[in-house]
Amino acid sequence: MSCSLSLLLRAVPASGRRLPARGTLVVAVLLVLVVALPLRAAAAASPGSSDIDVAVRRDGEAIVVDVNLAVRASPREVWDVLTDYDHMARFVSTLTKSRIVGHADGRLMVAQTSRFRVGLVAINFDSVREVELIPPREIRSRVVEGDMKASAFTTHLVPEADATRIINHARYIPDRWIPPVIGLALLKTETRMQFSDLRAEILRRKARE
């Protein structure tokens, strides 16, 4: 779920990297964001995702993302979808590939390829994540390969009467510059859409069963 965030963090070159016409590239990316953001925001504001609470903020060099939403399903039903890494690309729109590539010390190694679209621009991102599972209530994950200085997030599942609350906390330290306002707004939009995909799959499986 965090992969879409990683994509935007690497979309703009690091400030210390020397590239031809760097200033032109930054301006071009900003213009694309300005055009695409209203469209992405409109999609994320659909009835299926408007109640998903997403907060994005900076904390020094880090970016902190908090997500809170309820799903009318049991913790086990939610758990089965959030940990279905081998099939996740089928129901999360930002993923093109996802599979478990190994186990180490009771943890999973998950390789994923994401595609992040901003207007007509598509950016692919490959990552390997180390995932620690504490069923059926907690998922801890960190990126061990990728274009970030650090990345870690924790997902808690909390039973609530006939529903389960998903509480996700993520902290990223990018090695890329991102626009301070538009960039964070787009991160918020993409995160809401990602969790909307997950909830839709949970409810789809519940209805089928």
- Domains for the chain: give ranges and CATH numbers: 3-208 (3.30.530.20)
Decide: 175 and 68 in contact? Cβ < 8 Å: no
Angle, in degrees to the nearest 10, between helices 182-208 and 22-44: 40
Q: What are phi and psi of 98, to 5 degrees?
A: -160, 125
Q: How far apart are CA 146 and CA 15, in angstroms?
A: 18
Q: What is the pLDDT of residues 161-192, one digit of tens each?
A: 999 999 999 998 876 666 676 778 888 888 99
List the chain residues with pLDDT less than 70. 1-48, 116-123, 147, 175-179, 181
Cβ-in-10-Å burial (0-12, 13-18, 19+) of 23 comes to exposed
Which residue in this structure is represented by tokens 């060099």? Answer: 61
Say which amino acid occupies 110. V
**Three-state DSSP class for 104?**
strand
Q: What is the pLDDT of residues 124-153, one digit of tens each?
A: 778 899 999 999 999 999 999 876 778 899
pLDDT for 31 equals: 46
Q: How far apart are CA 90 and CA 167, in angstroms?
A: 23
Which residue in this structure is represented by tokens 């081998």? Answer: 86
Which residue in this structure is represented by tokens 């210390």? Answer: 16
Starting at the earlier edge strand, list the strands of the sheet with 107-118.
53-59, 62-71, 163-174, 148-160, 138-145, 121-134, 107-118, 95-104
CA 121 and chain centroid, separation: 18
pLDDT for 122 equals: 65
